[in-house]
């Protein structure tokens, strides 16, 4: 009877101990949950590798390098920009006339140039017109010089170039002032020391030649749709015919264009801004010389549009390329890891069964022990096996000692 009471008390005692241990464990886990630096200890060992995962890794690295090289080459050689174009009111007050050169070419096929005051002569003026009609036009002569510019294909001929740059601003009767340069061609005027040829000879020369005007082109030499460099002619050519008895006039309209090339952070690290003039339109008309002056032969004027065209070229940047390559690496690594990590894990645990329940065999003291919420350290199977092995070794040593004493 006494034995049964002792057994029952022992059972209740164990239940109370287990219940108290459970409460302590819950408190310990609750407190430890606030620790932001919890550490899960793992045994130090070598990484598990296999021949299959090694080959898979080499294959993955090869695929990644091939994709990286392909992306880099495409980024450098075929990085087409996105073009955004719009127009805005021209901010610049004065726009400088591009380089020009002109002359009268005669013969077949234009074997010589003519610059003879006894036939006709060239003049160039800077003209300012006012919106207020009562104000008279202001006209300033721009001196001309014989030139042989290297950007003109007929550089072996002596032609004419302005000695000063012409300016363009405003619009006719739309702004307070309208400034433009113009070329004036006049037939020979009798008087002074100049002896003019006959009208029949002038008509014959006019029928066998023409005025050639060369305007230097400073537009960007690349295709806007692809961004690739292209071969371009460095000038524009205009030709005009003299018609005695008539007064032809031409106006060439230029538009200021602004190109902003955004950086790609590999070849360009800041905005590349380029400004140039492009021919927008050409207006021509003819009147009888009796309306003006019988000596007027031709007039060529230059003016600008009131708006400028803005073009913004945005290229793919090196950061975009890195993002694409990084995303590809993530997808590639995840795909290979999904197979080879599981393969290596299964291979290891298949050959090392004792590691499957490794966490259950080791007692771990938590950080909550600081709060004296300790419990009796449980006995693990690993510790029991070590004690058992040490006991056997001790018994064997005692047995050997007894044998020696008996002998």
Residue boundaries of the structural domains of the chain: 91-258+281-305
Kindly tell me if the per-residue pLDDT of 155 is higher than 70. Answer: no
- Ranking 80-94, 125-139, 302-316, 375-389 by mean pLDDT, the lowest is 375-389
> In 3D, which of 267, 41, 97, 234 has the Cα closest to residue 155?
234
Specify the pLDDT at position 314.
81
Q: Rounded to whole angstroms, how far apart are CA atoms 268 and 375?
A: 67
Kindly tell me if the per-residue pLDDT of 379 is higher than 50. Answer: no
Specify the pLDDT at position 366.
44
Specify the pLDDT at position 386.
43
Q: Rounded to whole angstroms, how far apart are CA atoms 186 and 21?
A: 117
Confidence of residue 4 (pLDDT cuts 50, 70, 90): low
Kindly tell me if the per-residue pLDDT of 302 is higher than 90. Answer: yes
Specify the pLDDT at position 75.
78
Q: What is the mean pLDDT of residues 26-52?
A: 71
Confidence of residue 163 (pLDDT cuts 50, 70, 90): very high
Specify the pLDDT at position 404.
46
Kindly tell me if the per-residue pLDDT of 360 is higher than 70. Answer: no
Kindly tell me if the per-residue pLDDT of 192 is higher than 50. Answer: yes
Specify the pLDDT at position 388.
42
> What is the percentage of the chain residues whose pLDDT exceeds 90?
11
């Amino acid at each position: 009877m006494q034995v049964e009471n002792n057994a029952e008390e022992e059972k209740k005692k164990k239940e109370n101990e287990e219940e108290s241990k459970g409460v302590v464990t819950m408190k310990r886990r609750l407190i430890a949950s606030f620790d932001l630096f919890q550490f899960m200890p793992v045994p130090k060992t070598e990484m598990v590798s296999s021949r299959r995962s090694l080959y898979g890794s080499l294959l993955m690295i090869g695929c990644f390098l091939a994709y990286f090289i392909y992306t880099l080459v495409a980024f450098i050689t075929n990085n087409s920009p996105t073009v955004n174009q719009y127009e805005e009111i021209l901010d610049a007050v004065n726009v400088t006339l591009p380089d020009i050169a002109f002359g009268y070419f005669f013969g077949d096929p234009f074997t010589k140039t003519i610059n003879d005051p006894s036939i006709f002569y060239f003049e160039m003026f800077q003209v300012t017109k006012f919106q207020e009609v009562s104000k008279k036009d202001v006209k300033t002569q721009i001196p001309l010089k014989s030139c042989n510019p290297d950007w003109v294909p007929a550089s072996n001929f002596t032609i004419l170039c302005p000695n000063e740059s012409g300016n363009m601003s405003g619009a006719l009767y739309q702004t307070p002032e309208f400034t433009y340069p113009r070329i004036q061609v006049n037939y020979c005027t009798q008087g002074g020391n100049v002896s003019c040829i006959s009208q029949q000879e002038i008509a014959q020369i006019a029928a066998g030649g023409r005025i050639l005007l060369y305007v230097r082109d400073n537009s960007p030499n690349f295709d806007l749709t692809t961004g690739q460099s292209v071969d371009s002619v460095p000038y524009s050519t205009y030709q005009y015919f003299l018609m005695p008895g008539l007064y032809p006039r031409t106006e060439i309209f230029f538009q200021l264009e602004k190109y902003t090339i955004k950086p790609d952070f590999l070849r360009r690290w800041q905005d590349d801004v380029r400004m140039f003039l492009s021919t927008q339109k050409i207006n021509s008309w003819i009147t009888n010389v009796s309306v003006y002056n019988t000596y007027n032969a031709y007039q060529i004027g230059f003016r600008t549009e009131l708006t400028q065209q803005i073009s913004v070229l945005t290229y793919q940047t090196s950061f975009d390329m890195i993002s694409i390559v990084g995303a590809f690496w993530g997808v590639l690594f995840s795909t290979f890891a999904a197979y080879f990590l599981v393969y290596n894990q299964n291979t290891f645990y298949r050959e090392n069964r004792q590691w499957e329940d490794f966490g259950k065999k080791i007692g771990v003291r938590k950080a909550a022990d600081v709060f004296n919420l300790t419990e009796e350290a449980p006995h693990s199977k690993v510790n029991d096996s070590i004690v058992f092995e040490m006991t056997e070794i001790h018994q064997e040593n005692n047995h050997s000692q007894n044998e020696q004493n008996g002998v």
